Amino acid sequence: MEQVMSPESLNLAQNWKKWLQILLKARNIEEKPDRRASSGPCSGRSGALRCLSMKYPKIDPEVDKFLQELRERVQIGVVGGSDYSKIAEQLGEGDEVIEKFDYVFAENGTVQYKNGQLVAKQAIQNHLGEELLQELINFCLNYMALLKLPKKRGTFIEFRNGMLNISPIGRSCTLEERIEFSELDKKERIREKFVAALQREFAGKGLRFSRGGMISFDVFPEGWDKRYCLNILDDERFDTIHFFGNETTPGGNDYEIYDDPRTVGHSVQSPQDTVRRCREIFFPERANES
């Protein structure tokens, strides 16, 4: 069902877009090395794309159409920190998503689908062990219990296969409450301070932390960031992988894969920006289309 928003709410929402990333692997399209808005070497001929995620509205039909056109020329996939159900909520219905993309990497790639089939799934509890996992959960609960915010809702810790997602306000908050928290977080650095406390408490225990979206941050084992999905792609022997993301600065949940020498990293700001960049790379004859 189409969501109707007031002009004021729409303007706010457009300023607080959270994105999923879509990886694309091209076979025969040459491109000069390019890591705009970034440093480090890169080269190749494949790409990465990202789609809108704002409390999980559906993908824009025009973007969806473009992706399917793109799939006729390259192989495409999506990588996101969320679990598969949230990815599916954005990009299709149920199993439709794993049929529309050659690869779907949920939870940073710790849950992997290829050609419509589940091929691998990891479990954070098996990797960390129950003792460390409970220490981590208890610390987060105690920290949030002492945190005073204008509003708190529910689902403060979401347990996923490859990570814990920590939300000081709670993931069940409304869109308006998300925006309110994001504004406050920019001023008071709530998540940044929370992560700093975790880094001090769990130093040397093999944990990594990354912010993403509007209201939460992720905790995962060392090496289980979005680069994890590159492991399966390494075996596929693609010439090059392009990655497009918006959280591409250090500490952002796109940074590691964006800066990885195995990818060509692109920093983008919107779906329209992403489509434009993909046209430049994969459809040079259509690069000037709006």
**254 & 117 share domain:** yes
Predicted confidence (pLDDT) at residue 35 exceeds the cutoff of 70: no
**pLDDT tens for each residue of 101-125:** 999 999 999 999 999 999 999 999 9
Of 176, 201, 221, the one marking the end of a domain is: 221
Residue set of the binding site: 160, 171, 178, 214, 216, 218, 246, 258, 260, 263
Residue 11 lies in a domain: no
> How does 15-46 read in b/e, with b if 16+ C-beta sit within 10 Å?
eebbbbbbbbbbeebebeebbeebeeebebbb
- Residue spans of beta strands (DSSP E) within 2-81: 18-25, 48-53, 75-79
Give 125-163 pLDDT, tens digit per residue.
999 999 999 999 999 999 999 999 999 999 999 999 999
- Give binding residues for Mg(2+) as ranges: 246, 258, 260, 263
**CATH number, domain with residue 206:** 3.30.1240.20
Domain containing 231 equals: 17-122+226-286
State phi, psi for 102 to the nearest 5 degrees: -70, -35
Q: Is the pLDDT of residue 8 over 60?
A: no
pLDDT digits (tens, 9 = 90+) for 187-236: 999 999 999 999 999 999 999 998 878 999 999 999 999 999 998 898 88
Say how many CA atoms lie within 13 Å of 212 toward its Cβ.
26
- Flag whether pLDDT at 56 surpasses 70: no
Q: Is the pLDDT of residue 48 over 50?
A: no
Given a cut of 70, whether residue 10 has pLDDT beyond it is: no
Residue 6 resides in a domain: no
45 and 69 together in one domain: yes
Annotation: binding site for alpha-D-mannose 1-phosphate: 160, 171, 178, 214, 216, 218
Query: Residue 243 is inside which H or E element, if any?
Result: strand 241-245
Write out 81-138 in H/E/C secondary structure.
CCCHHHHHHHHCCCCHHHHHCCEEEEHHHCEEEECCEEEEECCHHHHHCHHHHHHHHH
* Residues 205 and 235 both lie in one domain: no
Please, what is the Cα angle at 229 between 31 and 268, to 5 degrees? 50
Whole-model pTM: value is: 0.73
Identify which has the larger pLDDT, 33 or 67.
67
For residues 171-192, give the mean pLDDT: 97
- pLDDT for the residue numbered 247: 87
Closest alpha carbon to 121 in 232, 260, 234: 232
Place of tokens 């729409």: 10
Q: In this structure, is residue 276 part of a structural domain?
A: yes
User: Which of the 8 DSSP states describes residue 202?
Assistant: T
Higher-pLDDT residue of 31, 76? 76
pLDDT of 65 higher than 50:
yes
Q: Domain check: are 115 and 240 in the same one?
A: yes
Residue 270's pLDDT band (cuts 50, 70, 90)? confident
In whole angstroms, what is the distance from residue 151 CA to residue 143 CA?
16
Can you give the pLDDT at residue 93?
78
Q: What is the pLDDT of residues 84-101, one digit of tens each?
A: 988 998 888 778 899 999
Percentages helix, strand, coil for the chain (3-state, rounded to 5) are 40, 20, 40
Residue 84, domain CATH: 3.40.50.1000
Q: Residues 85, 200: one domain?
A: no
Tell whether 28 and 108 lie within a shared domain: yes
State the pLDDT at residue 26: 42
Among the candidates 221, 247, 262, a domain finishes at: 221
